[in-house]
Structure 1
Amino acid sequence: MIALVDCNSFFCSVEKVFHPGLNGKPVCVLSCNDGCIVALTPEAKALGLRRGDPIFKKKDIVQHYGVKLFSTNMYLYAAMSKRVNNILRSAVPHSEVYSIDESFLYLDGLEKYHDLEDYMRGVVEKVRLYTDIPVSVGIAHTKTLAKIGSKFAKQYKGYHSVCMIDNEEKRRKALALFDLSDVWGIGKQTLAKLNYLGIRTPLEFADKKESWVRSHFSKPGWQTWKELNGISCIDTSEVAQRQTICTSRSFGNLVTDYDALQASVASFAASCANKLRGQHSLTSAVTVFVSSNRFREDLTQYSNGQTRILPMPTSDTIEITQAALSVLKEIYREGISYKKTGVILGDITDASYIQQNLFDEVKNRPERMQLMKSIDALNHRFGLRKIHLAVEGEEKQAWHAKSEFRSGNYLSDLKEILTIQI
């Protein structure tokens, strides 16, 4: 059996941990630049707020109902996620982090000694006791069914945070009641195709013959069909590894200076390289794009982007940054007020398989990779960007996000540790 542990409204829940007076009140977490809503509590949804809403259009609701706003603080959320996952790892023999707020737990063997529902409710209580983060758990024979179970556990209080789909009757009932658009692995295009073929529920899809599914859908659709039928076949490690990595951001203020624009691109390139090494991958293509503020009709509009193909796959921050900056030089135009830049890494491959190049200009590549590992270890220990390229610039630059409502890094920075008044 597999359990999917999902933290409820995770970003908002973390903020509420350090602001306990907000329990039962509407809370929204905004994007890094305080532009739109990226997470919200059920109380905020009840007011008509939705994820993706531009916050300036909802000012009246925010002010009238006293909605508490926070800027996204990924350092804080990642630190709390680590604490939750440490508790989960101590509870089961094997766990797998899928995202910052979701983890799969493998329960094989535990059924000999425990009632799995009661055991996982004990884990839920332990997470709540140690972190004050509410979680919902789905238990099933496949990861897709476990995800469905976790959503039922979150939606209906009668499950007491744990929903187990462990037999045919429960599976068919769950698939008949669940929204097809919410099934893991069914995106907009697949949903439109299923609806066109007359399928409206997950159960109708699961009841189709395998030959029919193979004739109408590619491998991902066939895998989803098998998972819905209780046949485990999805390797989450393959799903989690991204085929493209992007870091982009709208600026807190318009930028006209080339040096500031260069610093933003260098910083985003370094962030992409860090993520790339984190998933043990390499890239062969670096794309950079820039754009002005399309909402400012009084300003000259401009947007452009180009891709640079690298001579051989790499995850070297220096090499990736150099490629990104060379692209920026080609697409930069003077006299433009820039609102956004971004870096995208594509053509991603596994770092275990490297195609060597006889004419590789980087002669000390093994030493450079060891340098990257050392820098990553130091930054992990002492804080992100403690060691970075000089071209990235210092803190508090014009292109940095506003983040006017950001909470402190209470769990990772002694300078911002939480203080209380007695």
Structure 2
Amino acid sequence: MIALADCNSFFCSVEKVFHPGLDEKPVCVLSCNDGCIVALTPEAKAIGLHRGDPIFKMRDIVEHNNVKLFSTNMYLYAAMSKRVNNILRTAVPHTESYSIDESFLYLDGMEKLYNLEEYMRGVAEKVKLYTDIPVSVGIAPSKTLAKMGSKFAKQYKGYRSVCMIDNEDKRRKALELFELADVWGIGRQTLAKLNYLGIHTPLEFADKKESWVRSHFNLPEVQTWKELNGIPSINTAEVAQKQSISTSRSFGEMVTSIDSLRASVADFAASCANKLRGQHSVASTITVYIMSNRFREDLPQYSNGQTAILPISTSDTIEITQAALSVLESIYREGIFYKKSGVILGNITDASVIQQNLFDEVKNRPQRFQLMKSIDEINHKFGLKKIKLAVEGEGHQSWHSKSEHRSGNYLSNINEILTINI
């Protein structure tokens, strides 16, 4: 059996931990530059707010209902996520962090020692006690069914934080009640095709023969079909590694100089490279794009992007940043007020197998690899970006995002530690 532990309204829940008095109150977390709602509590949904709403259009609702707003603070959320995962790992030996607020727990063999439903309910209570973060748990034979179970546990209080789908009757009932559009692995195009073929519920899809599914869909949809039938088929570690890595941001203030754009692109390229090394991967393509403010019709409009191909797949920050800056130089145009830039790494493969190039111009790759490893260790110990490239710049820069409602980094920065007035 597999369990999915999903933190409820995670970003909002973390903010509520450090701001007492917000229980059962509408709370929203805002995106980069405090532009849109990216997370909200059920109470905020109940008054008409939705994920993705531009906050300037919702000011009347926010002010009338005294909605508490917070700027996204990924440092704080990541630190709390680490604490939650540490508790989960002490309870279940084999765990896999799927996202900042979700973890898969492999329960094989534990059913001989525990009642799995009661055991995981105890784990959820422990997480709540130690971190004050509410967790919903789904238990099932496959990851897709476990995700469905966690959503049922979140939606219905009668489950007391844990929904277990452990027999055929429960599986069919869950598939009958669940929304097809919410099934993990079914995107908009797949949903449209399923509806066109007369399938409107997960149960109708699961009841189809495998030969029919293979004749109409590709491997990912076949894997989803198997998962809905309780057959484990998705390797989430493999799925994560295949994804491209992207870092982008809308600027707090529009910029015109190439130096400011260089600093932003270098910062994003370094972040992408760090993520690559974190999942033990390498990339061979780098895309850089820049764009003006499309909402400022009074200003010249411009957007462009290009892709560079590296001779050897790499996760080296220096090499990736140099390539990204070279692309930026080729697409930059003077006289434009730029509002956003971004870096995307593609063609990602496992770092254990790298195709070499006879004409490689980097002659000290082993030493560069050790350098990156040492920098990662120092930054992990003393804080992100303690060591970085000079081109990334120092201090607050004009392109940095606005975050007027940001909480302190209470768990990772001694200068922002929470203080209590008595």
TM bucket (normalised to shorter chain) is over 0.9
**Alpha-carbon deviation of 1:349?**
1.0
1:20, CA displacement in angstroms? Answer: 1.6
User: Which residue identity is paired with 2:315?
Assistant: S
Match of 2:281 in 1: 281
Aligned with 2:158: secondary structure?
helix
1:203 partner letter:
L
Does the 8 Å CA contact 1:32/1:73 hold for their aligned counterparts? no
Per the TM alignment, residue 395 of structure 1 is displaced from its structure 2 partner at its CA by 2.2
What whole-Å deviation, never above 9, does each CA across 1:59-109 have from its counterpart, x for those lacking one? 111111110000000000000000000000000121111000000001111
Counterpart-to-counterpart distance in 2, 1:261 and 1:115:
56
| In 2: Cα distance, 1:265 partner to 1:108 partner | 45
**Is the counterpart of residue 351 in structure 1 residue 351 in structure 2?**
yes
Which residue matches 2:187? 187
Q: Deviations over 1:133-154 (max 9, x none)?
A: 0000000000000000000000
- Once residues 6 and 90 of structure 1 are traced to their aligned partners in structure 2, the CA distance between those partners, rounded to angstroms, is 17
CA shift digits 1:35-73 (9 cap, x unpaired):
100000000000110000110000111111110000000
Report the Cα offset of residue 242 of structure 1.
Answer: 4.1
Q: Per-residue CA shift, 1:267-290, capped at 9, x if unaligned?
A: 000001001111111111111000
Q: What secondary structure, in the 3-state scheme, does the structure 1 residue paired with 2:33 have?
A: coil
Structure 2 residue identity aligned to 1:362:
V
* Aligned twin of 1:79: 79
1:65 match: 65
Unaligned runs of 5+ in 2: none
CA shift, 1:241, in A, is 1.8
Partner SS for 1:307: strand
SS of the residue corresponding to residue 33 of structure 1 reads helix
Q: Which residue of 1 aligns with 2:164?
A: 164
2:49 maps to a residue whose letter is L
Letter in 2 for 1:157: K
Rounded Cα–Cα distance in structure 1 between residues aligned with 2:394 and 2:283:
27
**Alpha-carbon deviations, 1:358-408, whole Å to 9, x = none?**
110000001001100110111011011000000000121000000110000
Matches within 5 A, 1:8-407: 8-407=8-407
1:413 aligns with 2:377: no
TM-score, normalising length: structure 1: 0.99
Amino acid at match of 1:125: E
- Give the 4+ runs in structure 1 shifted more than 4 A: none
What RMSD, in angstroms, separates the aligned Cα atoms of the two structures? Answer: 0.6
- Corresponding pairs, count: 422
Report the CA distance between 1:243 and its aligned residue. 2.5
**Separation in 1, partners of 2:93, 2:164:** 19
Preserved CA contact (<8 Å) 2:241 2:348? no
Amino acid at match of 1:237: A
C-alpha distance in structure 2 between counterparts of 1:349 and 1:86, whole Å = 28
SS in 2 for 1:29: strand
Q: Structure 2: which amino acid aligns with 1:7? A: C
Percent of aligned pairs sharing the same letter: 81
Gaps of 5+ in 1: none
Q: Distance in 1 between matches of 2:93 and 2:302?
A: 54
CA contact (8 A) 2:137 2:153 kept: yes
